[in-house]
Structure 1
Amino acid sequence: MISPKKYAKAAKVSPNGFKTTNEFFNYVFKDEEMIWMGQNTNHLHDHSEIAEAMIDCINEGNYCKYPPPEGFPELKELVVRDLGLGDGFEALITAGGTESLYLCMNDILEPEDNAITCDPGYLIIDNFASRFACSVISIPIYSRECGYKLTPELVLENMDRNTHMVSLIDPLNPLGSSYTKDEIKAFADIANDHDIYLLHDITYRDFAMDHHLAADYAPEKTVTVYSFSKIYGMAGLRIGAIVATSDLIESIKSIVINDLGTNVISQAGAIAALRSKNRWVDRIRNTTFRNQKIIKDAVDEVDGAFIPVYPSSGNMMAIDIHKTGVDPLDLADYLLKRKIFVRQGAYTSRAFGDRYIRLSFSIPREQVEIFAENFVDVMEFLRPSN
């Protein structure tokens, strides 16, 4: 038997009634009545020119050919232009933001390095960093005192001579917290002054009312992770990018595994999405933002429950139910029985996962209203009797 690698992912706990997580996700995927609030996906796009571009790609038979290995030049240019970055920056097209994260850490981190992340956060980042660095310092940030986010002060307190990378998820999955311009500048100063890299994951950037790029202030020390999964509604198509200076991109290219290129159909959709973005982005952003109020009103009805970060700068939020006595896993299970898919907190936090559920809301308003009604009802049912 092959021994597990030291960095193997911890086995995920399957929801009640399912043998494996794969069986569970197949179940929720196949159920067309399921209200999908568990994976931060975006269900607000119409059958638009994005879909039409992919259908045309299929009808023309272009999927029979390999694409350029680094991505179609038009798509690379559109990504950089979308971020407003100038000359000297380049995009490398990847099979999603997760592959981008892996490639960045593989290229930048050495065995003697440590990396700084935060808890709560996107735990796969910690897993990837542990494969290439000596250690991962996961800083607890589930606190009003730090604004439920990693701060420059916390980084300075926890870094040492071996720190080589700081991960900034901005806006932060699962809480929806984000950074001011001054905070981003402070992180950039740390990177420049201490010769470390900022891994700036901006997957949820377009849902934020205000957002700032670390690459504007520390261009030589920032790798920006870009995804088409969320605002573009293309999660199942697995396409993203890494954006950095040409020197950094050239280095990352040297460890690429997928050297035959990223899915042709996905790239066709991504090009159409970027070309058409100004025609639909405000509608999706505004609908997503308004949906938060429906959830907030429902949470306010439940004694002991609260939203740590409101309004969220992303398309997701956490609902803290710790003081109610209700287990987040039980809540997620009961909502699933009512065809509402949310995630219990352990998916995004080792230290605080027993306190909250995480849910996304870039879905039709009517579905958010169904969640709100059921959340109040199920919480009353599950609350322990005094």
Structure 2
Amino acid sequence: MDNLKKPRKHAKKPPKEFKSNNEFFEHVFNDKEMIWMGQNTNHLHETNLIQDAMISCIESKEYCKYPPPEGFSELQKLILKDLDLEDLDILITAGGTESLYLCMYNLLEKKNNAITCDPGYLIIDDFADRFAGEVRAVPIYNEECHYKLTPKLVRENIDENTKVVVLIDPLNPLGSAYTEEEIKEFAEIAIENDIYMIHDITYKDFARSHYSVAKYAPSHAITIYSFSKISGMAGLRIGAIISSSELIASIRPILINDLGTNLVAQAGAITALRSKETWIERIVTTTRNNQKRIKKMIDTIDDIFIVNYPSDGNMLGIDISKTGINPEKLSENLLDKKIFTRQGSYTSNEFGDKYLRVSFSIPEEQVKIFCKEFPIAIEELRE
């Protein structure tokens, strides 16, 4: 049939020996020796509290029932408390990605444009492109803007048709974060222009400091929350949208999971927030120490540097552009060494040939292996 919809989407190119991304992901997933540094996932949870809560939920056979369509009230309250945004409204979703899709679907029309950044989380651009007339991906791969979408850049790109500005804070893939003064100015921009700031805070718990747009512009901010990273629950797909009651009310009619988000995942998420104080310091400390180890190794290699150091996320970009090495070739070389990383084109349309993205919320011993194998890979590809 020739009448099927063909939405535009950023092409995620699998390594050459794989027919599709699904085949590639399944290969990486099934290889138990693979060191997982390609998806910013967190592999540092050692305690069994979150796991035990989900096992208990399964053993009780509560999964036979549907959960509340907007999420359990306890989980909603715990998320709002975690963000100190208890006066706002909330919906539980199947992860931050679904939250982003719902926001784009709800807010954007063909007469609108949306402002994002490049590098960034390209699926956001894909979603916005389905509904807006234009997606303005502002180039931010330079020292002048400190590798992030600044208020100055937003003011330069905004017009009367702008409806949404997306802030990924800290930024995937470079770990750039915002100061309180910058967040206040973003809030002012939103209020002055009557637009929405979508504040994706997926990596906020790894940051040295973090500030909320919703604190300064509660009626113009949409906060995207995820359990995928800091809570180590990426495969369980659970997150939330936090905003004003008016905005949340407009999203309710378009909820995809109108029979509720995964009940077992919600049980884990509740326990993750209840127990957060018992594990977060260890997770963050280990992650930052891993980053220092990678920086020490990178500093020994000519023509290579970490784009934004220290990263406030659990990932960083390694610029290899002066070596002449193709990031895709480097990623494939490391994959052969059983180290899964991401070439720059995964998170950038314009600058993908410059860097490799590496995440490091993994055991220290695995980071040591990466630090041993990375220089070898560089030398092999230089030759």
The one-letter amino acid of 2:56's match is D
Q: Which residue of 1 aligns with 2:253?
A: 254
Aligned equivalents of 2:34 and 2:16: distance in 1?
Answer: 17
The one-letter amino acid of 2:189's match is I
Cα 1:358–1:3 change in 2 (3 A) is: farther
1:10 Cα deviation after fit: 3.7
8 Å Cα contact 2:63-2:264 kept in structure 1: yes
Deviations 1:5-42 (A, max 9, x none): 45332442110211111111000100111000000000
Q: Which residue of 2 aligns with 1:137?
A: 136
Q: Which residue of 2 aligns with 1:241?
A: 240
Deviations 1:208-252 (A, max 9, x none): 010000000010000000000000000000000001111111111
1:3 Cα deviation after fit: 4.7
Aligned equivalents of 2:11 and 2:277: distance in 1?
Answer: 41
8 Å Cα contact 2:8-2:129 kept in structure 1: no
Aligned equivalents of 2:128 and 2:9: distance in 1?
Answer: 12
Matched, 1:343 2:342: yes
Matches within 5 A, 1:11-26: 11-26=11-26
Aligned equivalents of 1:155 and 1:296: distance in 2?
Answer: 31
Q: Which residue of 1 aligns with 2:111?
A: 112
Give the match's secondary structure for 1:357: strand
Aligned equivalents of 1:215 and 1:319: distance in 2?
Answer: 32
Aligned equivalents of 1:79 and 1:47: distance in 2?
Answer: 21
1:47 Cα deviation after fit: 4.2
Aligned equivalents of 2:2 and 2:168: distance in 1?
Answer: 34
Aligned equivalents of 2:134 and 2:361: distance in 1?
Answer: 36
Aligned equivalents of 1:6 and 1:138: distance in 2?
Answer: 22
Q: Which residue of 2 aligns with 1:224?
A: 223
Matches within 5 A, 1:264-343: 264-343=263-342
Matched, 1:73 2:79: no
Deviation larger for 62-71 or 1-10: 1-10
Aligned equivalents of 2:173 and 2:12: distance in 1?
Answer: 18
TM-score, with normalisation over the residues of structure 1? 0.98
Q: Which residue of 1 aligns with 2:53?
A: 53
The one-letter amino acid of 2:173's match is P
Give the match's secondary structure for 1:254: helix
Deviations 1:165-211 (A, max 9, x none): 10000000000000000000010000000101000000000000100
The one-letter amino acid of 2:342's match is R
Q: Which residue of 2 aligns with 1:123?
A: 122
Q: Which residue of 1 aligns with 2:42?
A: 42
The one-letter amino acid of 2:176's match is S
Aligned CA-pair RMSD: 1.0
Aligned equivalents of 2:288 and 2:11: distance in 1?
Answer: 34
Aligned equivalents of 1:47 and 1:177: distance in 2?
Answer: 30
Deviations 1:273-320 (A, max 9, x none): 000001101110111011111111111111100011000000000000
Deviation larger for 77-86 or 173-182: 77-86
User: Structure 1: 5+ residue runs without aligned partners?
Assistant: none
User: Structure 2: 5+ residue runs without aligned partners?
Assistant: none
The one-letter amino acid of 2:264's match is I
Q: Which residue of 2 aligns with 1:352?
A: 351
Cα 1:72–1:84 change in 2 (3 A) is: same
Deviations 1:34-67 (A, max 9, x none): 0000000000001411000000000000110000
Aligned equivalents of 1:323 and 1:227: distance in 2?
Answer: 36
8 Å Cα contact 2:10-2:123 kept in structure 1: no
Give the match's secondary structure for 1:298: helix
Matches within 5 A, 1:80-229: 80-87=80-87, 89-229=88-228
Aligned equivalents of 1:307 and 1:3: distance in 2?
Answer: 47
The one-letter amino acid of 1:60's match is S
The one-letter amino acid of 1:281's match is I
TM-score, with normalisation over the residues of structure 2? 0.98
1:4 Cα deviation after fit: 5.7
1:354 Cα deviation after fit: 0.4
The one-letter amino acid of 1:59's match is E
Aligned equivalents of 2:210 and 2:4: distance in 1?
Answer: 40
Give the match's secondary structure for 1:329: helix
Deviations 1:334-356 (A, max 9, x none): 10011000000000000000000
Cα 1:3–1:353 change in 2 (3 A) is: farther
The percent of aligned pairs where both chains have the same amino acid is 62
Aligned equivalents of 2:357 and 2:149: distance in 1?
Answer: 19
Aligned equivalents of 1:366 and 1:183: distance in 2?
Answer: 37
